[in-house]
Amino acid sequence: MSADCADGRDDDAHAYDGFVGGAMKGGRTVVFVRRTRDQSLQDGPAGLRARDAVMPGLRATLDVL
């Protein structure tokens, strides 16, 4: 997704998107969301960068909940 400029044009340099996921383990269900907004023009979807930012620490985070 692109943010809008004040004049209504798409602002591709500041794309935003998110990653929503869920996990079930031992009778628990956890839902998580990570939203990101680019500060400059990037290759590929912002949602994939949001997912990639969540995944490395997800297991450790879920273990302490």
- Whole domain around residue 45: which residue ranges? 2-64
pLDDT at residue 36, as a whole number: 87
State how far the Cα of 23 lies from the Cα of 51, in Å rounded to an integer. 14
In what helix (H) or strand (E) does residue 34 lie, and over which residues does it extend?
A: strand 28-37
pLDDT at residue 7, as a whole number: 87
Whole-prediction pTM: 0.65
For the stretch 6-63, pLDDT in tens is 888 877 777 778 899 998 878 889 999 998 888 888 888 888 888 998 889 888 888 8
State how far the Cα of 41 lies from the Cα of 29, in Å rounded to an integer. 36
Q: Give helix then strand counts, H and E, for the chain.
A: 1, 3
Number of domains composing the chain: 1
